[in-house]
Structure 1
Amino acid sequence: MKEKELHRGVVPFLNCKDHLVSKETYEIMLNEQKEMLVTSPIPSDLHKYYDSEEYQSHHNSKKTFLNFIYNTVKKQSFKRKRRLFQNGKPNKTLLDIGAGTGDFLLYCKENKFDVTGVEPSKSARNIAKEKGIELYEELKEVLDRKFDVITMWHVLEHVPNLYEYLEQLKTLLNENGKLIIAVPNFKSYDAEYYKEFWAAYDVPRHLWHFSKKSIHTLFESVQMKVTKVHPLKFDSFYVSLLSEKNKTGKTNYLKAFWVGLKSNMKASQTKEYSSLIYELKHS
């Protein structure tokens, strides 16, 4: 597997705990050449680490105030996301990978897109089906097709076969199509502040941890290039809220808001926001 190259010559960076499911500790290693972090070891059975009611993208739960915040902001973000790829052409084909419970695809379908989605979680697919959104389980089921737009909202960090996935994304994208990827940024202030408690490390579900340099380098290896980078400013607040709970065992809205605000203020100069959206195309 080519992914072994990403583990070669790495040095220790942090030890992080799985706060969500197993409570196990994993080592995060630094690949200095690519400016990228890798989780070690990668569990052989990753599926069981997603078996939690708190794993937001697979559930519709609004039982807690935190879930309510997540779902409210998620829906409000759809219009902004659509603006990244909507132009005059009607009936664009759109593939959303890691579609969760189908809310984003439903929104795009209502806005005249020809939508397709992939989601490995059976429970999430069932919820999407109730909304009229049929999802495929695996990417290989759509590899014979081409799409004008491909989106991955906080999904690339979960993919075990990373290089194979990059090749498949290139194959799936139309010649003049647009690939849009959102991932956490470990170079942000909130990551630096919370260190091993930073919720966006989310080991072992997050196998890779990206910087801007690593995204550019990885996609250049499959002849794709980054054309634009956008901030996801709300992520600093939400991730800080989860990080506070990881660190102290308590939900501290005021402290999380302050750290999130400071992160965005610093990023206004450095451009190292908590999460970043990358627009890519064939080079």
Structure 2
Amino acid sequence: MTPTRTPAARPVGWSAADTEEVVCCLCGVSGRRTRTVGIFGVVRCPTCDLVFTSPRLRPDALQRLYDDAGYFEGRIDGSGGRFSPATVLPRIWTGGRLRLIDRVRGRGPGGRLLEVGAAYGLFLDAARSAGWTTSGVELSRTAAEHARRDLGLDVFNGPLTEAPITPGVDVVCAWDTLEHVPDPLAFLRAVRALVADDGVVVLSTPSVASVPARLLGSRWWTLKPAEHIWHFTPRSHAVLAARAGLAVTQVLRSPLSSANALRTDSLVVVARPIPG
């Protein structure tokens, strides 16, 4: 693909000193640049085709981004009016995803459910009401505090590897989280260490193989290299999961599915632990 240039990424104010070069988490090699977005590069691994950001924000800069009280402002987070998309869509996704978990497990709610990237706790609150024993992990101090203070949820503020979670979790969820983590392979290996051998992992990410991504290119609304530092396809999800000890059993792409309602560039992935 011919490298292209687009306007600077939001939020403004980052400099080259805030960035670092990284390699593919699967292959350990540098990517070939396909786009330049402000100070960031969008690259593709020449070995496995995984798309990622390099240079990207350093960990301390990423933490400042997520700690910004305005980070969630204007996002679909359930904070809008009664009939706004910010309220209606999360409710549809939450209900659809809880039903998906029940279908995959072949039984109703019950047991331990962990959400990594819990944000304000909207999904966890619904899961708790449905009958799950819930806990969460969230990097944003603002969001984690809201989930604990306003909803009374058990949400740890920090990285998953530092969270006091006892292994044997029945369901691990990561909704629109994997594209943000510094190392998706290390992240999924940490998830595999926590999920029960008969448990389920469910997650969602943007899809770089989607029609909007292919047609819009640099104008794709989900191309946010300051925060979306990895871009996935169904194939890269399968390869990444396998390397982490998980087997992808289902990928939902349809915007007609309630678990993915109206999302034309999103993947909802179901995975199971590989025995042994």
- After TM superposition, is the score higher than 0.5? yes
Q: Residue 60 of structure 1: CA displacement?
A: 5.8
Residue correspondence of structure 1 range 95-244 to structure 2 within 5 A: 95-129=114-148, 130-138=150-158, 139=160, 140-231=162-253, 233=255
SS of 1:186's equivalent?
Answer: coil
User: 1:6–1:38: 8 Å Cα contact kept in structure 2?
Assistant: no
Flag structure 1 segments of 5+ consecutive residues without an equivalent.
17-23, 239-259, 265-272
- Shifted more, 172-181 versus 121-130: the winner is 121-130
SS of 1:46's equivalent?
Answer: helix
2:44 aligned with 1:30: yes
The correspondence for 1:83, drawn from 95, 99, 104, is 99
2:36 aligned with 1:12: no
Where is the helix percentage greater, Structure 1 or Structure 2?
1
Structure 1 counterpart of 2:10: none
CA distance in 2, matches of 1:215, 1:116: 25
Structure 1 counterpart of 2:267: 276
Q: Residue 31 of structure 1: CA displacement?
A: 1.2
Q: Residue deviations 1:82-129, cap 9 Å, x none?
A: 012124355221000000101111101111101111111111112212
Q: Residue 71 of structure 1: CA displacement?
A: 2.6
Call closer, same or farther: CA 1:178–1:187 in 2, change over 3 Å: same
Q: Residue 217 of structure 1: CA displacement?
A: 0.8
Structure 2 counterpart of 1:62: 80
Normalising by structure 2, we get a TM-score of 0.78
Flag structure 2 segments of 5+ consecutive residues without an equivalent.
1-21
Structure 2 counterpart of 1:248: none
Q: Residue 25 of structure 1: CA displacement?
A: 3.3
Identity of aligned residues (%): 22
CA distance in 1, matches of 2:228, 2:175: 13
User: 1:12–1:27: 8 Å Cα contact kept in structure 2?
Assistant: yes
User: 1:232–1:274: 8 Å Cα contact kept in structure 2?
Assistant: no
Normalising by structure 1, we get a TM-score of 0.76
User: 2:137–2:156: 8 Å Cα contact kept in structure 1?
Assistant: yes
CA distance in 1, matches of 2:27, 2:62: 19
Q: Residue 149 of structure 1: CA displacement?
A: 0.4
Q: Which amino acid aligns with 1:229?
A: V
In the alignment of these two chains, the number of paired residues is 240
CA distance in 1, matches of 2:31, 2:241: 20
Supply the RMSD in Å over aligned alpha carbons: 2.8
Q: Residue deviations 1:229-280, cap 9 Å, x none?
A: 1125179xx9xxxxxxxxxxxxxxxxxxxxx8xxx8xxxxxxxx51111100
Call closer, same or farther: CA 1:90–1:198 in 2, change over 3 Å: closer
CA distance in 1, matches of 2:69, 2:49: 31
Q: Which amino acid aligns with 1:205?
A: E
CA distance in 1, matches of 2:247, 2:26: 21
SS of 1:204's equivalent?
Answer: coil
Q: Residue 53 of structure 1: CA displacement?
A: 2.4
Call closer, same or farther: CA 1:125–1:234 in 2, change over 3 Å: farther
CA distance in 2, matches of 1:54, 1:69: 18
